[in-house]
Structure 1
Amino acid sequence: MDRLWAAGWRHFGRYFFRYSSQTDEQGTTQTITPLRIDLASCSFTKSQRRVLTKNTDLRHDIVPAALDDELRAMFQRHKQRFTHNVPEELETFLGPDPATGPCECRMVRVFEGDRLIAASFFDMGLTAASSVYGIFEPTESKRSLGIFTQLLEIQHCREAGLRWLYPGYATHEPSAYDYKKQFRGTEWLDWSTGEWSPMT
């Protein structure tokens, strides 16, 4: 998995893929840019530290990934935020049973009291991890829970002694994925050379 991620591959369930372009809602071609975070050089920005502070009233855990009806129902509410390339179900990203591979998959769960309000899923390799997908309750959007779970993944992977976290694809052009470019220590993969370079 470490070698595949370093070459720009990703997977949803047991389907592996990589692609260098996509079309947005207006029909404009966008250049796909694989990203990874150098965990040794990643420090949180002032804005990211504010997200952590804003959510100190919440509790979280990190457990082996497993799907249930509560997560599926949250996904159905979460996906209403999107109008383009909307998947049918959470299994589109994770497969029917993420615990069975192709590698170890863990999930962050975030609770307000006993109520689950966010979750994110990430794969573990030997020296790296790869974020798969994150969901949250749309009514809690003011908490920036997508950023919050990504920060929790970074902390967990750093504590586990990993070198890299692959947050997924973004685009060279401005897009809804620009938040992935805001983490210090982020590098991008040049498809033409196969080389990783610091994000400027």
Structure 2
Amino acid sequence: MLAQAHHPNHLSPQELDEYLKQGWFRMGQTIFHTNFLNFKEEYFSAIWLRVNLDNIYPDKQQVKLLKRNQDFRIEFQRASITDEKEALYSKYRQGIEFQASSSLRNLLYGVAHQNIYNTHEVNIYDGSKLIASGFFDLGRNSAAGITSFYDPEYKKHSLGKFLIYSKIDYCKSLGMLYFYPGYFVPGYAAFDYKLEIHKSSLQYLQLQTNRWMPITGFSDADIPLRVMRNKLEELRFFMDRSQLQGNIMKYEYFDANLVPDLIGFELFDFPLLVNCPHKLAGAGHLVIIYDVRDNQYHLMQCRSVWTSNAPNTDGVFTSHLLKVEYDVFSSEDPLPMVNVLLVHLSSEDDSLQSAVF
């Protein structure tokens, strides 16, 4: 699945390590995995990151931050939520562009009343004034950065980056092997700062192979959404030549598997699809996707599990929440896929002749 969520009642340190290794992250007490994001109706790929702590040393950026912030006091402790931290979080939240949880308590706990994670925090003080806080979870050999926030009046001190460096140093001192800072988003600059922290030891999870690779080798070919769109545009070119209808559309509900009430339904979770002519699909929906995990086009028969009042508009499929019934056909190349569509359609439309390539 490209989007999943679990609600464990208990999580051992070893289990957290394994979740993190597979590119999972937690929000509230839910732990989830996704490969695609929707920011202001624009879709992006989420590329998961980790820092190999084995051979890290202070890089140039960290040395500058240590010097710039040498007069501040840093403290580590088990996590706790206080009015002081909530006030600081609220002040920080008002100055950011992206959407964030309504409160620190909601971010860490959600609707739960207890924490199943071994959560610690780092706090930075200017004298007695709390100016920055960061929270992170500890596993057995790995740690995950959950959130960092700071007083906007101290923006010139780059406290967000400084907090991440502080967490990493602390985790390395505990003998941890990996630190997971979350994801970055190609084409959405708000998360790019993560790419400059211990870059020589930074790795990304390659969706195509499910392997952790050095970030220095990252390229456009590692952006799943871009590859999917390029491949579907190639397919559409050959469909047009064969007078086959079908549009590339964004699928509104690609992250429905993360909705608490829908967890476990294993719904269709691709962000892009080609919506084929309805008469090919019978009572269901016939769609084509490109899956970067096996480098193949897939013709899928889907059924609607919920119907929306909103029609499909502006290249967005919103009319139905889909579930895959079965995989009709798959192919590495677009031409076999087009020919399969032609065979299906020719039995219903004698005026359409199969193209010869």
Q: Name the TM-score class by shorter chain.
A: over 0.9
Q: Which moved more, 1:94-103 or 1:157-166?
A: 94-103
Q: Is the 8 A contact 2:92 2:150 kept in 1?
A: yes
Q: For the residues of structure 2 that align with 1:100 and 1:32, how far apart are their CA atoms?
A: 29
Please name the residue that 1:53 is paired with.
67
SS of corresponding position for 1:35: strand
Give 1:181 shift. 1.1
Q: Which moved more, 1:123-132 or 1:33-42?
A: 33-42
Please name the residue that 1:5 is paired with.
20
Please name the residue that 1:120 is paired with.
134
Q: For the residues of structure 1 that align with 2:210 and 2:116, how far apart are their CA atoms?
A: 24
The alignment's TM-score, normalised by the length of structure 1, stands at 0.93
Q: Which moved more, 1:53-62 or 1:34-43?
A: 34-43
Q: Is the 8 A contact 1:66 1:99 kept in 2?
A: no
Amino acid at match of 2:145: S
Deviations 1:79-121 (A, max 9, x none): 0122332321112321169994322100001111111100000
Q: CA 1:55 to 1:175, structure 2 compared with 1: closer, same or farther past 3 Å?
A: same
Give 1:49 shift. 1.1
Q: CA 1:21 to 1:87, structure 2 compared with 1: closer, same or farther past 3 Å?
A: same
Q: CA 1:125 to 1:54, structure 2 compared with 1: closer, same or farther past 3 Å?
A: same
Correspondence for 1:191 among 207, 216, 221? 207
What pairs up with 1:22-171 in 2 under 5 angstroms? Answer: 22-25=37-40, 27-95=41-109, 100-171=114-185
SS of corresponding position for 2:94: helix
Q: CA 1:136 to 1:98, structure 2 compared with 1: closer, same or farther past 3 Å?
A: farther
Q: Is the 8 A contact 2:131 2:154 kept in 1?
A: yes
Q: For the residues of structure 1 that align with 2:133 and 2:112, how far apart are their CA atoms?
A: 14
The alignment's TM-score, normalised by the length of structure 2, stands at 0.53
Q: For the residues of structure 2 that align with 1:193 and 1:110, how far apart are their CA atoms?
A: 39
Q: CA 1:98 to 1:71, structure 2 compared with 1: closer, same or farther past 3 Å?
A: farther
Please name the residue that 2:351 is paired with.
none
SS of corresponding position for 2:146: strand
The number of equivalent residue pairs is 199
SS of corresponding position for 1:81: coil
Gaps of 5+ in 1: none
Q: For the residues of structure 1 that align with 2:66 and 2:113, how far apart are their CA atoms?
A: 29
Q: For the residues of structure 2 that align with 1:131 and 1:97, how far apart are their CA atoms?
A: 21
Q: Is the 8 A contact 1:58 1:111 kept in 2?
A: yes
User: Percent same amino acid at aligned positions?
Assistant: 27
SS of corresponding position for 1:3: helix
Q: CA 1:65 to 1:35, structure 2 compared with 1: closer, same or farther past 3 Å?
A: same
Give 1:194 shift. 1.2
Deviations 1:124-150 (A, max 9, x none): 000010000011001111111111111
Amino acid at match of 1:18: H
Q: Is the 8 A contact 1:42 1:183 kept in 2?
A: no
Deviations 1:56-77 (A, max 9, x none): 1011110000001000111110
Give RMSD over aligned pairs. Answer: 1.8
Bigger relative contact order, structure 1 or 2 (CA pairs below 8 A, ≥6 apart)? 1
Q: Is the 8 A contact 2:28 2:108 kept in 1?
A: yes
SS of corresponding position for 1:161: coil
Q: For the residues of structure 2 that align with 1:98 and 1:161, how far apart are their CA atoms?
A: 31
Q: CA 1:157 to 1:136, structure 2 compared with 1: closer, same or farther past 3 Å?
A: same
Structure index of larger Rg: 2
